[in-house]
Amino acid sequence: MKILAVDDDENIRELLAVSMAAETTHELVTASSGPEALRMVANADTPFDCFLLDIQMPVMNGIILCKKLRKTAGHGRVPIIMLTAMSQKKYIDKAFNAGATDYVTKPFDFFELFSRISNADRLTQEQARSNEGLNEVAALKRDLERSCETSLIEPVEITGIPGVVGYVTFENYTMQLSRAKLMRSHVFAVKVVNVEQVHRSLTPTAFTRMLTDIATVLAANMNQEDCLIAYRGNGVFLCTTSGKVNQTQHNFELNLNHQFAETPTARFGDTKVTLSVGEAISLKSLTRAGAMFSLQTAASSAETRASGSKEVLKVMKRLMMTRKRSNLQTAMERRAYEVLLRDAMRDETRRTMMGGTVPLARQR
């Protein structure tokens, strides 16, 4: 890869150049400021494949530089790794919201840094293969046919919405929060109930538009300064949040469904789209494995809640068909439905009384 490292500290630039030459085959170019870096990008004969940016620089800090690079033609998806001593959450949040792909704190372990660069290299190669395929009609056709089979379970990168990032970036952000010992941060999931049926009823384009509308509604209900959202696949969105908030899990779910019902894609297809919100899971782990486990736990919580919602929907559907049945059959079905609802409400009340429900999003 051709990498541009931007840092106002000459010692850091020299250290990066020496270590990169000794341990990798990448081409490293350095700049001492944001304006110099932008000039080098504009005048480069061959585009840069990756950027390493320091945050705390005079004239133009790394976060502003990151934003400008993202707005530069052809650099919307180029990996950007922040190299900085700033480990406070506000800097981490600002960096990822500006478009950073990853974040490494100084003094950094070179083994870890090279590992992150290797990840960026793999991401660049995947994007290159994707771009090559888009230039060929046959490859594009195969991609479209394959998307019908795989897009349900695979992450989809949703762009153009502040606070919404790709899933790889989201994982990197989550691991950074854990390493920074930010105990107040939480992650929760939102699941599309009956997503398999919804996916079958929509074209790939319509399904992607639906995901975009859901992400838009989610972002509108979150504080964009301290949260990130990503689509994990299989109808699951993951969201981070922190600080004291005042919407309960139940109210947040009601608000999301009400607002999504007003979007154009809510009327696509024959299947009603319902969103289920899982419990918030603490990101208190200090290991990468622990952070990944927290993401899995959050997704599982939403999956479990969605499964319960599907059972309620099945009962409600059967109730709608009882008009032609006997009064006794109707009463039996309705009683079963009432018991199911009481059990669900009892579980919700018990969780609330025991402090098991973590509020999710700020009221606006």
**Which residues span the domain enclosing 166?**
152-310
Q: When comparing pLDDT for 309 and 119, which is higher?
A: 119
Q: Is the same domain home to 200 and 114?
A: no
Residue 141's pLDDT is 54
Q: Residue 252, SS3?
A: helix
| More reliable by pLDDT, 52 or 267 | 52
Q: Are residues 28 and 127 in the same domain?
A: yes
- CATH number for the domain harbouring residue 210: 3.30.70.270
Residue 126's domain is classified under what CATH number?
3.40.50.2300
Report the number of distinct structural domains present in the chain: 2
Length of the chain: 364
CA distance 46 to 117: 19
More confident residue, 92 or 145: 92
What backbone torsions phi and psi does residue 8 show, to the nearest 5 degrees?
-80, -10
Q: 316 or 107, which is more confident? A: 107
Same domain as 162, residue 72: no
Angle at 219 between CA 350 and CA 256, to 5 degrees: 45
Choose among 281, 312, 322: nearest CA to 194.
312
User: In whole angstroms, what is the distance from residue 314 CA to residue 335 CA?
Assistant: 14
Please check whether residues 78 and 177 belong to one and the same domain: no
Q: What's the CA gap between 154 and 247, in Å, rounded?
A: 30
For 242-299, how does the pLDDT look when each residue is reduced to its tens digit (9 = 90+)?
Answer: 755 557 888 889 999 999 999 888 877 677 899 999 988 887 765 667 777 888 888 8
> How far is Cα of residue 148 from the mean position of the Cα atoms in its chain?
22
Of 85, 101, 135, the residue at which a domain comes to its end is: 135
Q: Residue 226: its pLDDT value, please?
A: 72
pLDDT of 329 over the 50 cut:
no
Residue 154 backbone phi and psi in degrees, to 5: -95, 150
Residues 292 and 204 in one domain: yes
The phi, psi pair for 174, rounded to 5°, reads -60, -45
pLDDT digit string, tens, across residues 63-81:
999 999 999 988 988 999 9
CA–CA distances in Å: residue 118 to residues 13, 23, 25, 131:
19, 12, 11, 20
157 in the same domain as 68: no
Q: Which two tokens stand for residue 134?
A: 């888009």
Say whether both 162 and 270 belong to one domain. yes
Mean residue pLDDT of the chain comes to 78
Name 148's bridge partners: none
Examine the pLDDT at 171 and tell me if it is beyond 60. Answer: yes
- Residue 254 falls inside a structural domain: yes
CA angle 289, 105, 46 (to 5 degrees): 100
Both tokens of residue 318?
């059967």
Averaged pLDDT, 183-210:
87
Among the listed residues 266, 245, 262, 360, the one whose alpha carbon sits nearest the alpha carbon of residue 305: 360
pLDDT tens-place string over residues 77-119: 899 999 888 767 788 888 888 889 998 888 777 777 888 888 8
Over range 32-44, report the average pLDDT.
95
